[in-house]
Structure 1
């Protein structure tokens, strides 16, 4: 592969896919990716790029290695909104290592969640909450405090609301739909049904919490499990910690409770009342011989919120929190605000550990770098590095300065300053498929995509 500069390596030139990317706005003007209505997302191991446009209501999936892309125009009704978020999701956990083992999740500004295969087939459609989906985030959690085993999860962020879906439940549903697509059962089944009707699909179990105690949020994330309150140490519930950023409070923290049990009386009442009501309705139709009224498809009623306990918040008017990025373990969060500052937050202690100034419109991604390795060993193509060989860093893309800076965590120096062209975005695969089937550790990488030239480059791991 051709090298670009000393710290970037070219991965692909997507000029051959310009026809597909043009459907999302590529080539319309210089710096077209600066449009906030354009949503790029990089697939696992940077094998594919998903690009969505809210204005054009289109999703484009382009293979990085070349070949034909896919253009999907989701069939969204007037009550289902427009595309507002895109994310990649594995279909079957660590076993889904191939190109067919992933799906693309699409969120809308009316609270609908849709999943597509790489071929553009609809796998699932579900209404989550009647508000704009600000962000979709799939996390691979392998080691967490207060957790006996890691679990993948998908979080959905709304203004003032956050939803959570367990990775096992999500992948079970998607894998079932994917198998039906492969065997052509899906197509035959829905030739005579309304494929856009949510009732045609099952429902993925999702929990939602209200996190608007300190004001509506612009971004949020579930950072992991946390210990329960003192009076609930023997409770069967699990408790998550959520961090939000927004206009009223730059940073807020909440404890989210997961109710894993249900009272026997409540279960009996809910089923008994429903069965009784159904019986009375049937008898009344027989007695009065009324004509059945046409059923109108309506949006399912949003489920009730789970328990939320506010922990703390930071208010600093007129500063407003804008974006939040989590480290791989969830113990650090990089938060950008409206005054050009970047706050590094320890999510366990809920204290700020670092602050940068002068980075307006910046975006941040965590990256793992090989630091202070001798050139002979670092240049070896057969050397397999372990997790301990890598150093956690923060990559800051400052578009107004036209640079990318790499800082060592938590309090280390600035290691790199890399110039980047206008109209570029830094991207990162949401899943790495880091499992035992791969002999070497898969580090967290950062990619740079130039929308105008179509050049995709990766930040080199070696420093020094």
Structure 2
């Protein structure tokens, strides 16, 4: 009897350039916390503190790209987060730094945009696409930048308009239709700053991760208005889980007022005193530092404290209605983000990581020999893939309360990855593209995808 294969090999990214990230030592991909990974349909972006490397594994896209961001040596700035951003045919790389900057690069290595979001280390870049209009079938999305004390939300349409403008002007410069600017970096920095919303989510201490789960109804005691409210979930050391209602109201909260008034005044006073002491005769041409944007209102909803348990990693389902949270005691909590209730718990999974995926569980469809039928969304069910590195396996559990569907052996030094949701994809597009989970073996460089059917 032939041995069942639970994954399909796609290609290999092994090359000499990986030595820049420390490849060649066993476990380099998972043992070094400074190694960051993000995957697209045919490429992988890897980064350490100062270098971003893009490698393709297929024959059609076997390109390589090396990006070295200009980071501040004075502040020991480094790359702390990366992610792919996809708008139809536009594919760019977003990077966050330890000083709170967001950098957007083209696949030629050009700096498209640079913007200060919030002072502090960017710990996560979250990209989420949502259905905006059920009648016109249009899509919107968001890019969330998470820092230990705050979460910022960029609207996908604002980013898309900026990228379209940049690519149009760059194409025009290539054909000599307009005078060429001084350089790609100057061009990227010349763009106006993207508008965004900023909320303080550190009421229960600094967070290890956070996410905006979706739109929620306004509080009953407030006057109904046209503004939207979002629900945010944060995890951290002091509170395993905390939830907030985020308002679009840009009126300054107490913390926002302190940051926007007291902090700049304090820096101004310190700067004046330093000038008096040192009597500097030289005028610096450097532009003044950007002031942090004031916070919008964030009202706490609930909080779970269970010392010494700490929240470590957070993963959202595609709709945002479920969140898988790993903690420091080896447990995995499945949170209903609408009711803010834990609906499932797994134990004995230390150092685990989770990703949601979709499995084809309709046996009639899976066993059909017809090559003309394409499975629809209703033929798939939502599952949770749990990678337990200490056990050397990946388990797939059916949501919400379903059984364990399979157990897949996993080589040591491997990491689960998942492409970010593409913006602008039609919800009615055929065939339906399910949510997939990829596996990167750092020691061999092999890329594989977990199979979506149960009979293979």
User: Whole-Å Cα distance in 1 between the matches of residues 212 and 447 of structure 2?
Assistant: 30
Change (3 A) 1:422 1:72: same
Change (3 A) 1:202 1:189: farther
Change (3 A) 1:376 1:166: closer
Query: Per the alignment, in what secondary structure is the counterpart of residue 155 of structure 1?
Result: strand
Give yes or no for the alignment of 1:429 onto 2:425: no
User: Whole-Å Cα distance in 2 between the matches of residues 390 and 127 of structure 1?
Assistant: 41
Quote the residue 1:251 is aligned against: 241
Match of 1:218 among 194, 197, 208: 208
User: Whole-Å Cα distance in 1 between the matches of residues 371 and 97 of structure 2?
Assistant: 44
User: Whole-Å Cα distance in 2 between the matches of residues 360 and 376 of structure 1?
Assistant: 34
Deviation at 1:142, TM superposition (A): 1.8
| Cα displacement string for residues 116-160 of structure 1 (whole angstroms, at most 9, x for unaligned residues) | 111211111111111000000110112799xx9752000000002
User: Whole-Å Cα distance in 2 between the matches of residues 318 and 71 of structure 1?
Assistant: 42
User: Whole-Å Cα distance in 1 between the matches of residues 385 and 202 of structure 2?
Assistant: 30
Does the 8 Å contact 2:362/2:379 carry over to 1?
no
Query: Per the alignment, in what secondary structure is the counterpart of residue 75 of structure 1?
Result: coil
| Cα displacement string for residues 367-406 of structure 1 (whole angstroms, at most 9, x for unaligned residues) | 0000141376455443211111001000000111110000
Quote the residue 1:411 is aligned against: 401
Alignment of 1:312-391 (within 5 A): 312-374=302-364, 377-378=367-368, 380-391=370-381
Quote the residue 1:272 is aligned against: none
Change (3 A) 1:158 1:403: same
Deviation at 1:313, TM superposition (A): 0.4
User: Whole-Å Cα distance in 1 between the matches of residues 19 and 133 of structure 2?
Assistant: 42
Query: Per the alignment, in what secondary structure is the counterpart of residue 172 of structure 1?
Result: helix
Q: What number of residue pairs does the alignment pair up?
A: 417
User: Whole-Å Cα distance in 1 between the matches of residues 284 and 415 of structure 2?
Assistant: 50
Match of 1:90 among 86, 92, 107: 86
Deviation at 1:435, TM superposition (A): 1.4
Quote the residue 2:7 is aligned against: 8
Unpaired runs of at least 5, structure 2: 253-280
Q: What's the TM-score once normalised by structure 1's chain length?
A: 0.84
Quote the residue 1:39 is aligned against: 36
Query: Per the alignment, in what secondary structure is the counterpart of residue 141 of structure 1?
Result: strand
Bigger CA drift: 439-448 or 148-157?
Answer: 148-157
Deviation at 1:446, TM superposition (A): 0.4
Match of 2:194 among 198, 204, 208: 204
Match of 2:447 among 440, 445, 456: 456
Deviation at 1:442, TM superposition (A): 1.0
| Cα displacement string for residues 391-428 of structure 1 (whole angstroms, at most 9, x for unaligned residues) | 10000001111100000000011001000101100000
Query: Per the alignment, in what secondary structure is the counterpart of residue 137 of structure 1?
Result: strand
User: Whole-Å Cα distance in 1 between the matches of residues 131 and 184 of structure 2?
Assistant: 39
Give yes or no for the alignment of 1:61 onto 2:54: yes
Q: What's the TM-score once normalised by structure 2's chain length?
A: 0.86
Alignment of 1:250-329 (within 5 A): 250-259=240-249, 294-329=284-319
Deviation at 1:182, TM superposition (A): 3.0
Query: Per the alignment, in what secondary structure is the counterpart of residue 463 of structure 1?
Result: coil
Quote the residue 1:20 is aligned against: 17
Give yes or no for the alignment of 1:446 onto 2:437: yes
Match of 2:68 among 69, 73, 82: 73
Cα RMSD over matched residues? Answer: 2.7
User: Whole-Å Cα distance in 2 between the matches of residues 236 and 200 of structure 1?
Assistant: 33
User: Whole-Å Cα distance in 2 between the matches of residues 246 and 260 of structure 1?
Assistant: 26
Deviation at 1:299, TM superposition (A): 1.9
Query: Per the alignment, in what secondary structure is the counterpart of residue 247 of structure 2?
Result: strand
Change (3 A) 1:182 1:47: farther
User: Whole-Å Cα distance in 1 between the matches of residues 103 and 284 of structure 2?
Assistant: 27
Does the 8 Å contact 2:229/2:247 carry over to 1?
yes
Quote the residue 1:395 is aligned against: 385
Query: Per the alignment, in what secondary structure is the counterpart of residue 138 of structure 1?
Result: strand
